[in-house]
Amino acid sequence: MKTGIKGIRRVSAAVVTAGAVLTAGAFAAPAQAATLPTPTITAAGGFVMNNSTGQSLFTKAADTRRSTGSTTKIMTARVVLAQSNLDLDSKVTVQKAYSDYIVDNNWASSAHLIVGDKVTVRQLLYGLMLPSGCDAAYALADKFGSGSTRAARVKSFIGKMNTTAKSLGLTNTHFDSFDGIGHGANYSTPRDLTKLASSAMKYSTFRTVVKTKSTKQKVTTKSGGYRYMEWTNTNPLLGTYAGTIGVKTGSGPEAKFCLAFAATRNGKTVIGTVLASSSVSNRTADAKKLLDYAFKK
């Protein structure tokens, strides 16, 4: 059988092409998966985890004890919400001691509670978590502590905060105040605070409060009339980072600038904490960086 020149050329071309493919395949580098760069934050410590699984997504000095500022109030709320037979609509009369406390402590943020007003426990939780009211924290400690004197009740309440920390396995956490204005022994870590925030978020009332940007609450005055209290949330992520659901800011001369944060996207909830950031804007930037990173992991 005769083979034409054209046929030979076609066969040769096919062999050359096949050889080229084999040669290219032999020397081609395997595809490499892109590595997600770990973010750099200004905060001295940080921790982020998947809220559903508890998987750690980011750590930086995550177990180093630091002052916590008003992120302490997460535990204040957590202790209140864990009370048996809790009546969120029970009323508390605002005492002069609460407003005096604000005056006496330069770093005390205020819900501007007015002496003689009757506010509900639910309203105090808003006053505690949105404007970070130390007066609201004092009122809750006075209400839910045990003892015949205010000092005894406050001591009892702080004891409950530490008992709760122990029960949650927060081995690097201790409280000596109800609001974060500590006396030398008020500390936690990014990992512990994140676990605390995660525990608090299991309470529907807590979730409702901490995702609220602002609220207007009707309270009863001393004379039996009423007034409206307006509070705005100090958490800058609300309204600026899609999916944000909480949690709490904190600051102080020792604590610097802190933020416990949580957000949900596409069914995934990420929760974390940054401690001792260098400014309000930097703690916000730190949190956004860590959320972006965690949602990509």
Name the burial class of residue 295, with classes exposed (0-12), middle (13-18) and buried (19+) by CB atoms within 10 angstroms of its CB. Answer: middle
Known catalytic membership, residue 223? no
**CA–CA dist 280, 74 (Å, integer):** 19
Q: Cα torsion at 151, 255, 136, 106 (round to 10°)?
A: 80
Query: Annotated catalytic, 70?
Result: yes
Q: Which of 60, 73, 160, 288 is catalytic?
A: 73
Q: In sequence order, what are the beta bridge partners of 228?
A: 218
Single-letter amino acid code for the residue at 78: R
| Buried residues in 257-276 as b, exposed as e (16+ CB within 10 A) | bbbbbbbeeeeebbbbbbbb
DSSP classification of residue 266 = T
Measured between alpha carbons, how far is residue 247 from residues 77, 93, 264, 282 in Å? Answer: 12, 27, 12, 17
Q: Which of 70, 109, 198, 251 is catalytic?
A: 70
User: Which DSSP helix (H) or strand (E) runs through 134?
Assistant: helix 134-144
CA angle 210, 248, 258 (to 5 degrees): 170
> What is the Cβ-side half-sphere exposure of residue 248, based on CA atoms within 13 angstroms?
34
Kindly give, in sequence order, each residue whose CB lies less than 8 Å from that of residue 117, ignoring residues fewer than 6 positions away: 93, 94, 219, 220, 221, 222, 227
Annotated catalytic residue 109:
no
Select from 77, 134, 71 the least CA-distant residue to 106.
134
Of residues 67, 132, 188, 199, which has the active-site annotation? 132
Q: Which residue has the tokens 């904490």?
A: 273
Give the residue numbers marked as catalytic: 70, 73, 132
